């Protein structure tokens, strides 16, 4: 971690005197001391002063008062007298909130820098934010004087600022426009010039663009300018793209050098492209000096961790020039009376370990570590800063950063970043595939598909030249490569050299060589209801039976089902039938030493015509087959079995990510029901994580799942006998030993141990000794720089290194 960012509102500064400000700053530094020590280069503070209207209103008078974010509930009306809840009313967060002027805000900035610099000896920067919505602070600029810029409907009609808006004439004096705003001034020009004055005058170092601002005109919903819920229409996509890019160009013409950090939307690159024509590629490559978006905090609110993970991977698969990977964790909300660490997360750390188990691969084949950790916010809705939260959150962040992946995980997503932009703005007519691809992958992850690694198409092709071995131990997941493309050549070569590839989505544009390798051909597309069959093992249910009806909606699933087997049907592992016609749904083929599989995919969700419902809604699991689950199921053909034992169809699938670090597996997971068990095995055996007990039976292992878990695994066991196998950390016990693991319950087992690359000491397999250091060595059958294997072990095994 190069940089720690502590986000804070002004609510803790109830005493706005210099002494009061200094006291709060010192308490902040005391609470977050350990993470401050871990930050290699910089400590930053992001001040949530208001909603950015203090920038819009600024006229150079430092004694002018700011309408700051001093509320509980919605800051801007209209409010309802008859129904007073947080979204229809507002309350002051304390009696007599302090009066804040621009001079006092500048003093907060100055003292934060003084105290943090003196405390840490590191560089200190302070940023502020601009938000397009009505939530945080009262804004006469957005909702009275210049309602023309707030045409968006998010959070109510006329409540969301459009980054491409044009302002009407205004006679007020502003710092950047002392004679008033001329008619036709773009918001990019106005906000840019105002930001340059405001940030410079008050001592701020960077600007944070919040809640999707700058990436789309209004980016919160599955529907938008390209997709209305009933059809896709890209006719206006170029116009929307140019309006967004003009905002960036105009802003940077007025505010050229101040760094910009971004929130991005709650959605993914493909989702925003296919709904809102969001030109992420052009923003990234436009030289606008910005940092890529952080992971969305919305998973804390709606539990959609698949959307958070897919969205973040899609946003960091490519990066703007000079940008690192920013991580953000949601511990308090300073307005809406929730503190996710204490309530929504229940003090469980899954939303730390899950995103920090994901990684991107760069153009040289290396993982990109997070450059910053941001905490939203260190104060709650009443301005309190409970020390308990800092003390509990800190060790989890530290552990997750220590275990951050240094190699691709079990599956690696080759993200079609450039292709998605071409399919949206070009004349290929493939925007429905852009829509389907990311929504399908989000649903697959939510149903247990263990995706943790992403690499853009360009970076994948480049990385193969620098590190051809980078992807040898991962399953590559990709849309079907186009005919004659460099991707088709690369994937075919990868398979021929023993690699593993899993394709998803329609094949109508696929390279003919890939179709032939899959044994498939294209027929008439079919839509609607199908009967589904599969040879893959399904999750076990204590109650109920899996449905066999599939509802394939062509609109949401990139066309109809049209793939059929062209040769021997033995490779077909899932199929769908309708009216006597059969379509392939999933296939698997082995080629030489390589493996190739494909899942067609259906988005088993629907679009709800309700302005309050922003995301697709799942079909009834009691009635319809969940086609996205086939992504996890087909891993069985690669020797990776992950099967859940669930109470019923209504049980939500656990999330599990399989990352690699220091040559070991690091599993991170979350389940909404602790009654769910996981049955699993990998090609090398059943994983037995450190600190876990696994029941081995019939060659597979079953373990109970905690609500949230993060476990190192270096031991994999193959045995036919039935027994409970456990792995525990054991004390060093000898001067020539760094670590020991004890594995119990083995019965004529083959044990594979994955070496810890942090150490170079000799590996010893020993029987449990009566005295430390004394015991017979088990014969090691094979050992490489990465793993040691021994056979026919019964009883207890001590592994030392």
Q: Is 300 inside a domain boundary?
A: yes
Question: Could you report the per-residue pLDDT of 368-388, keeping only the tens digit for each?
Answer: 999 999 999 999 999 999 999
Predicted pLDDT of residue 615: 92
Return d(Cα 186, Cα 250) in angstroms, integer. Answer: 8
**If you count them, how many residues does the chain have?**
801
Q: Is 364 inside a domain boundary?
A: no
Based on the fold, state whether residues 416 and 344 are members of the same structural domain.
Answer: no
Q: Is 653 inside a domain boundary?
A: no
Chain-centroid distance, C-alpha 395: 21
Chain-centroid distance, C-alpha 666: 17
Residue 282 zone, left/alpha/beta (φ > 0; ψ -120 to 50; rest) = alpha
Predicted pLDDT of residue 586: 98
Residue indicated by tokens 């030289």: 287
Q: The domain that contains 257 carries what CATH number?
A: 3.20.20
Return d(Cα 676, Cα 674) in angstroms, integer. Answer: 5
**What number is the average pLDDT over the span 578-599?**
95
Of all helices (H) and strands (E), which one includes residue 273? helix 269-276
- Is 80 exceeded by the pLDDT of residue 613? no
Q: Is 650 inside a domain boundary?
A: no
- Is 70 exceeded by the pLDDT of residue 570? no
Domain coverage including residue 440? 411-639
Predicted pLDDT of residue 591: 86
Return d(Cα 362, Cα 25) in angstroms, integer. Answer: 38
Based on the fold, state whether residues 453 and 310 are members of the same structural domain.
Answer: no
Q: Are 58 and 198 in contact (CB under 8 A)?
A: yes
Closest CA to 278 of 147, 438, 404: 438
Closest CA to 69 of 379, 327, 302: 379
Q: Is 647 inside a domain boundary?
A: no
For 657-670, b/e burial (b = at least 16 CB within 10 A) is bbbbbbbbbbbbbb
Q: Is 247 inside a domain boundary?
A: yes
- Is 70 exceeded by the pLDDT of residue 771? no
Closest CA to 318 of 208, 221, 414, 426: 414
Q: Tell me if the bond preceding 78 is cis, omega within 30° of 0.
A: yes
Question: Could you report the per-residue pLDDT of 73-104, keeping only the tens digit for each?
Answer: 999 999 999 999 999 999 999 999 999 999 99
Of all helices (H) and strands (E), which one includes residue 578? strand 572-578
Predicted pLDDT of residue 68: 98
Is 797 exposed, middle or buried (CB count within 10 Å of its CB: 0-12, 13-18, 19+)? buried
Q: Is 644 inside a domain boundary?
A: no
Based on the fold, state whether residues 376 and 424 are members of the same structural domain.
Answer: no
Question: Could you report the per-residue pLDDT of 225-259, keeping only the tens digit for each?
Answer: 999 999 999 999 999 999 999 999 999 999 999 99
Based on the fold, state whether residues 295 and 199 are members of the same structural domain.
Answer: yes
Based on the fold, state whether residues 207 and 233 are members of the same structural domain.
Answer: yes
Complete edge-to-edge strand list for the sheet that includes strand 655-661: 655-661, 664-670, 708-713
Is 677 exposed, middle or buried (CB count within 10 Å of its CB: 0-12, 13-18, 19+)? middle
Based on the fold, state whether residues 594 and 671 are members of the same structural domain.
Answer: no
φ/ψ of residue 356, rounded to 5: -80, 5
How many domains, the chain?
Answer: 3
Return d(Cα 516, Cα 776) in angstroms, integer. Answer: 55
Return d(Cα 233, Cα 432) in angstroms, integer. Answer: 10
Is 591 exposed, middle or buried (CB count within 10 Å of its CB: 0-12, 13-18, 19+)? middle
Based on the fold, state whether residues 417 and 389 are members of the same structural domain.
Answer: no
Question: What sign does the dihedral 192-194-195-201 (CA atoms) show?
Answer: positive
Q: How many CB atoms lie within 10 A of CB 245?
A: 17
Residue ending a domain, choose from 639, 671, 699: 639
Is 338 exposed, middle or buried (CB count within 10 Å of its CB: 0-12, 13-18, 19+)? middle
Residue ending a domain, choose from 580, 608, 639: 639
- Is 60 exceeded by the pLDDT of residue 770? no
Q: Is 556 inside a domain boundary?
A: yes
Question: Could you report the per-residue pLDDT of 455-483, keeping only the tens digit for each?
Answer: 999 999 999 999 988 999 999 999 999 99
Return d(Cα 67, Cα 134) in angstroms, integer. Answer: 13
Q: Are 324 and 368 in contact (CB under 8 A)?
A: yes
Across 355-369, 561-575, 724-738, which has the greatest mean pLDDT?
355-369
For 210-219, b/e burial (b = at least 16 CB within 10 A) is bbbbbbbbbb
Residue 780 zone, left/alpha/beta (φ > 0; ψ -120 to 50; rest) = beta
SS3 label, residue 45: strand
Based on the fold, state whether residues 27 and 113 are members of the same structural domain.
Answer: yes
φ/ψ of residue 785, rounded to 5: -60, -15
SS3 label, residue 679: strand
Based on the fold, state whether residues 232 and 254 are members of the same structural domain.
Answer: yes
Predicted pLDDT of residue 395: 98
Chain-centroid distance, C-alpha 573: 30
SS3 label, residue 63: coil
- Number of helices (H), then strands (E), belonging to the chain: the values are 19, 40
Question: Could you report the per-residue pLDDT of 692-723, keeping only the tens digit for each?
Answer: 999 999 999 999 999 999 999 999 999 999 99
Based on the fold, state whether residues 314 and 455 are members of the same structural domain.
Answer: no
Three-state helix/strand/coil letters over 750-762: EEEEECCCCCCCC
**Cα radius of gyration (the chain):** 28
Predicted pLDDT of residue 765: 93
Q: The domain that contains 418 carries what CATH number?
A: 3.40.50
Return d(Cα 531, Cα 574) in angstroms, integer. Answer: 11
Closest CA to 549 of 573, 576, 572: 576
Based on the fold, state whether residues 667 and 565 are members of the same structural domain.
Answer: no
Based on the fold, state whether residues 389 and 416 are members of the same structural domain.
Answer: no
């Amino acid at each position: 971690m190069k940089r720690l960012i502590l986000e804070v509102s002004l609510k803790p500064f109830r005493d706005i005197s210099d002494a009061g400000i200094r006291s709060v700053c010192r308490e902040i530094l005391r609470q977050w001391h350990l993470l401050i020590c871990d930050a290699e280069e910089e400590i930053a503070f992001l001040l949530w002063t208001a909603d950015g209207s203090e920038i819009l209103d600024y006229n150079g008078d430092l004694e002018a008062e700011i309408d700051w974010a001093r509320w509980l509930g919605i800051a801007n009306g209209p409010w309802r007298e008859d129904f007073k809840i947080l979204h229809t009313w507002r309350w002051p967060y304390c009696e007599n909130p302090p009066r804040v002027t621009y001079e006092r805000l500048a003093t907060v900035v100055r003292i934060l820098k003084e105290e943090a610099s003196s405390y840490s000896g590191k560089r200190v920067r302070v940023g502020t934010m601009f938000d397009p919505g009505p939530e945080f602070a009262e804004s006469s600029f957005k909702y009275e004087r210049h309602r023309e810029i707030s045409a968006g409907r998010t959070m109510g009609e006329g409540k969301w600022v459009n980054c491409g808006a044009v302002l009407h004439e205004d006679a007020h004096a502003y710092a950047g426009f002392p004679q008033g705003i001329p008619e036709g001034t773009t918001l990019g020009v106005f906000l840019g010039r105002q930001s340059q004055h405001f940030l410079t005058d008050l001592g701020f170092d960077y600007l944070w663009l919040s809640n999707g601002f700058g990436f789309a005109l209004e980016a919160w919903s599955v529907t938008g300018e390209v997709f209305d819920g009933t059809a896709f229409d890209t006719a206006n996509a170029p116009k929307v793209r140019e309006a967004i890019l003009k905002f960036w160009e105009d802003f940077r013409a007025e505010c050229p050098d101040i760094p910009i950090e971004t929130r991005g939307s709650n959605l993914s690159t493909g989702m925003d492209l296919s709904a809102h024509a969001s030109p992420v590629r052009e923003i990234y490559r436009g030289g606008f000096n910005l940092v890529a978006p952080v992971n969305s905090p919305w998973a804390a609110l709606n539990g959609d961790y698949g959307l958070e993970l897919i969205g973040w991977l899609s946003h960091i698969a490519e990066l703007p020039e000079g940008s690192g990977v920013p991580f953000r964790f949601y511990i308090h909300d300073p307005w809406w009376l929730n503190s996710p660490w204490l309530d929504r997360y229940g003090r469980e750390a899954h939303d730390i370990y899950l995103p920090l188990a994901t990684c991107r691969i760069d153009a040289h084949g290396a993982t990109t570590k997070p450059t910053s950790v941001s905490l939203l916010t260190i104060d709650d809705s009443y301005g309190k800063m409970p020390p308990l939260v800092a003390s509990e959150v800190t060790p989890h962040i530290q552990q997750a950063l220590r275990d951050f992946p240094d190699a691709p995980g079990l599956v690696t997503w080759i993200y079609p970043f450039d292709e998605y932009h071409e399919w949206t703005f070009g004349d290929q007519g493939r925007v429905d595939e852009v829509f389907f691809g990311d929504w399908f992958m989000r649903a697959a992850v939510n149903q247990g598909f263990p995706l943790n690694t992403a690499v853009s198409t360009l970076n994948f092709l480049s990385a193969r030249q620098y590190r051809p071995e980078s992807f040898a131990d991962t399953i590559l997941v990709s849309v079907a490569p186009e005919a004659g493309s460099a991707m088709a050549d690369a994937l075919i070569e990868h398979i021929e050299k023993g690699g593993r590839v899993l394709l998803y989505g329609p094949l109508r544009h696929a390279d003919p060589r890939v179709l032939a390798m899959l044994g498939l051909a294209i027929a008439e597309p079919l839509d609607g209801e199908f009967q589904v069959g599969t040879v893959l093992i399904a999750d076990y249910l204590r109650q109920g039976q899996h449905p066999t009806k599939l509802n394939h909606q062509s609109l949401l699933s990139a066309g109809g089902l049209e793939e059929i087997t062209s040769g021997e049907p033995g490779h077909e592992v899932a199929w769908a039938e309708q009216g006597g016609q059969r379509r392939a749904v999933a296939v698997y083929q082995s080629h030489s030493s390589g493996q190739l599989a494909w899942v067609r995919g259906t988005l088993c969700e629907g679009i709800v015509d309700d302005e309050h419902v922003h995301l697709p809604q799942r079909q009834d699991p009691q009635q319809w087959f969940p086609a996205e689950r086939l992504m996890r199921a087909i891993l069985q053909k690669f020797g990776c079995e992950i099967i859940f034992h669930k109470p019923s169809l209504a049980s939500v699938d656990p999330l599990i990510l399989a990352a690699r670090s220091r040559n070991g597996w690091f599993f991170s997971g979350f389940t909404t029901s602790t009654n769910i068990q996981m049955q699993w095995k990998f090609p090398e055996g059943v994983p037995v994580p450190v600190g876990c007990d696994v029941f081995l039976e019939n060659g597979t292992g079953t373990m109970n799942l905690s609500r949230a878990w993060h476990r190192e695994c270096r031991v994999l066991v193959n045995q036919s006998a039935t027994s409970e196998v456990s792995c525990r950390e054991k004390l060093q016990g000898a001067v020539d030993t760094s670590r020991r693991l004890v594995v119990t319950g083995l019965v004529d087992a083959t044990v594979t141990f994955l070496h810890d690359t942090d150490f170079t000491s000799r590996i010893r397999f020993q029987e449990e000794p009566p005295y430390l250091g004394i015991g017979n060595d088990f014969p090691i059958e094979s050992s490489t720089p990465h793993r040691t294997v021994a056979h026919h072990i019964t009883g207890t095994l001590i592994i030392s290194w």
